[in-house]
Structures are given as structure tokens and as C-alpha cells.
């Protein structure tokens, strides 16, 4: 007897209930639902969302009951008005970000009013078009008042009632006269916000020496201090042009692999004095930390001799006992460079 479902005369294997198998006959045209035992994902009920604004600035806002998805434009409460931003994070991930930035759920957070409409987006676009012209005019006022400060960016509020001027300066700046001029000229409320050179580079953006967009303008949210010791640990040149970013400070990426270098340096011996052999004194020229190879050159010669870390430790121990080996590399020993 063949399968009654597809009229197949072939012998049906399986439960031996040919033609009436509970799984659907011979299963020739069947599909198995692998998700039958898996519960659907639950919708997060956390009522705080993260909203992104110009320059990568992010803040947390309370969401009452609006169905939002990441990337939605929303109208949020602002000081004496409203602003427009884009949802960058929601759900339980927001709770983690709040803990990271030490923001408590019990804190008073501003609310999301509604989703932005097409009219809101068009008005916001026209408002943003004024930012470049406003920045140029404001820089002229700074020059006229002879203030030692650098205006780097302007951000208009979506309701076109307030503008925030971001500037960088070495010390304190008395910009009271500048405030009067800006308020009189642009007929808006003005806020002055001082930022660091790294924050300035993040707001302006650009392409780094690696060929990619600056970390500070894409994903980097906090700036950790970078010292010249990070450069020395990685055996990099102390050339300021190569180790400085567009902000004029040491590159943030110098910290990315620093822990790996510090861990690898534990196996590298410290060479404070030349290695002494019967052929002469050998001075350290270069160290390959990860391949565990150190290059030495004899005084008065230009050739470099690669030897392994263990051989360096051995020669140092011999020199400590006033024993001088014949050469750096003995018995036709060759350091592995692979």
C-alpha cells in the first residue's frame, strides 16, 4: 500500500502505518516547524529610552506608552521648548547604559512627547541649515571682541528658540559681551558650552590616519587619559605627528592594545647595559615583543643580529659572573623570525 497523501506507490518507512501516518504520510512535501516549542520574544517594558542628537550626544528620556523602534525620530522635552532626536537604544540595554553612566531610574528624566511628523522633520531641516551661517557670523564677533576662544560648532533646538554654541579654550573666558551680541543678532536664547579638544574633534568628525572615520565621532563615548608611557610600551616613535590625533592630543587608539603589550613584556628581559662578548660589546637596537626576538649590534658595526629572548637572559647571566661568550649567537644558532 502506498501513501494516500501523495499517491506514492513506494514502500513507506517509519511507523509502518502506511497511508495514515500521523506525521503526514510519507513526508515528501512536509516541513517541520522548529519553533513550535520556542516561546515568542517578550516585549521589553522598560520605560526609558536613549535618544541621540547632533554630535553623538545621547540622553535618557521617559517613554510613557509610545511604540518606538530604534532610529525613530521623536520630539522630546527641552528647556522652555522641545527638541528632535533619534531613538538609539531601548529595552533592557538602556538599563545597563544608565548604570554605566550612573543615572538612576528614580531620577527626574524628561519625557518623550510624541513621534516626529513629516512637518517636524522639515522644520528641523530648515533650522539645521542656519547652523553653518550662524557659526561663521559668531566667529566674526569673537574676533571683533578679541576673545581667546575657538567656536567649533552650533546646535539649534528643533523649536528654533535656542542655540548652543560649543567652544574650546585654554582657560576661563569672559564671554558676557559675546552673549549680548549673539542674543541681539539672532533673536534667540543662547547657551555657551565649553568642550575639550577631543570632544571638539568628535563633534566635527574626520578621517584618521588609519583611513577610517574618527573613533570619537562614531562609537567612542568616554575619553580616557593617554600618556607617553603607552607609546614607549609599544616601541613606537615619539614623533608628535604620528602619535597625535586631529585634536592635537595623543591618539585614543594607543590604549586599545596597551594591555596586550604589557602582558607580552613580562617575558622580555630588561637590557640596561650592553651585552659583553669576546667579539665586543653589543647594544640593543630593537625588540619584537610578540615574536620574542631582540636585535643587537656590535659597537662600531652597522649589522643587526637577531637573537632569542632566552639567549639574552643566558648572556646576561654569564656577564653577571664575569664570563664572556664567544659571540652573541654560538654553535650556528639562528633566532627564529617566523
Report the pLDDT value the prediction gives residue 335, as an integer from 0 to 100.
Answer: 46
pTM: 0.68
Give the residue ranges of the chain where pLDDT is below 50. Answer: 1, 332-338
In the block, which residue shows the cell 587619559? 225
For the residues of 156-172, what is the DSSP string, one character each?
Answer: E-TTSSEEEEEEE-SS-
Report the pLDDT value the prediction gives residue 182, as an integer from 0 to 100.
Answer: 95
Report the pLDDT value the prediction gives residue 152, as an integer from 0 to 100.
Answer: 92
DSSP annotation of 254: G
Report the pLDDT value the prediction gives residue 224, as an integer from 0 to 100.
Answer: 87
- Give me the residue spans of the domains in the chain: 48-116, 121-195, 211-262, 269-320
Query: Selecting from 3.30.420, 3.30.300, 3.40.50, 1.10.3470, what CATH number does the domain 121-195 have?
Result: 3.30.300
Q: CA-CA distance, 208 to 251, in Å (whole number)?
A: 10
Number of residues in the chain: 338
Q: Measured between alpha carbons, how far is residue 302 from residues 34, 210, 294 in Å?
A: 69, 33, 15
In the block, which residue shows the cell 538599563? 95
pLDDT, one tens digit per residue, over 137-168 is 999 999 999 999 999 999 999 999 999 999 99
- E strands, 94-199, are 112-115, 150-156, 162-168, 189-194
For the residues of 246-300, what is the DSSP string, one character each?
Answer: TTSSBPGGGGTTHHHHHHHGGGSPP--SPEEETTEEEEEEEEETTTTEEEEEETT
Amino acid at each position: 500500500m502506498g501513501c494516500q497523501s501523495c499517491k506514492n506507490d513506494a514502500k513507506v518507512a517509519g511507523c509502518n502505518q502506511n497511508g495514515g501516518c500521523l506525521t503526514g504520510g510519507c513526508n515528501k512535501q512536509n516541513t517541520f516547524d522548529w519553533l513550535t516549542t520556542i516561546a515568542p520574544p517578550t516585549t521589553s517594558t522598560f520605560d526609558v529610552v536613549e535618544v541621540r542628537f547632533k554630535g553623538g550626544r545621547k540622553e535618557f528620556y521617559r517613554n510613557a506608552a509610545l511604540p518606538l523602534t530604534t532610529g525613530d525620530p521623536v520630539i522630546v522635552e527641552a528647556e522652555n521648548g522641545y527638541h528632535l532626536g533619534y531613538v538609539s537604544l531601548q529595552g533592557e540595554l538602556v538599563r545597563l547604559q544608565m548604570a554605566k553612566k550612573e543615572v538612576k531610574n528614580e531620577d527626574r528624566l524628561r519625557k518623550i512627547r510624541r513621534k516626529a511628523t513629516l512637518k517636524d522633520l522639515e522644520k528641523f531641516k530648515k533650522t539645521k541649515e542656519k547652523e553653518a551661517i550662524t557659526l561663521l557670523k559668531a566667529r566674526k564677533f569673537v574676533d571683533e571682541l578679541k576673545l581667546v576662544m575657538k567656536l567649533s560648532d552650533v546646535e539649534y533646538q528643533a523649536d528654533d528658540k535656542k542655540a548652543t554654541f560649543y567652544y574650546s579654550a585654554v582657560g576661563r573666558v569672559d564671554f558676557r559681551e559675546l552673549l549680548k551680541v549673539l542674543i541681539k543678532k539672532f533673536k534667540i536664547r543662547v547657551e555657551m558650552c565649553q568642550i575639550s579638544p577631543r570632544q571638539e574633534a568628535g563633534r566635527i568628525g574626520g578621517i584618521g590616519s588609519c583611513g577610517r572615520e574618527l573613533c570619537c565621532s562614531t562609537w567612542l563615548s568616554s575619553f580616557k587619559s593617554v600618556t607617553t608611557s603607552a607609546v614607549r610600551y609599544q616601541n613606537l616613535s615619539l614623533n608628535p605627528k604620528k602619535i597625535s590625533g586631529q585634536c592635537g592630543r595623543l591618539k585614543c587608539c594607543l590604549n586599545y592594545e596597551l594591555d596586550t603589550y604589557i602582558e607580552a613584556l613580562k617575558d622580555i628581559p630588561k637590557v640596561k647595559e650592553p651585552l659583553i662578548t669576546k667579539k665586543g660589546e653589543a647594544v640593543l637596537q630593537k625588540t619584537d615583543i610578540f615574536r620574542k626576538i631582540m636585535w643587537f649590534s656590535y659597537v662600531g658595526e652597522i649589522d643587526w643580529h637577531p637573537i632569542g629572548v632566552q639567549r639574552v637572559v643566558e648572556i646576561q647571566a654569564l656577564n653577571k659572573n664575569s664570563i664572556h661568550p664567544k659571540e652573541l649567537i654560538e654553535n650556528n644558532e639562528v633566532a627564529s623570525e617566523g
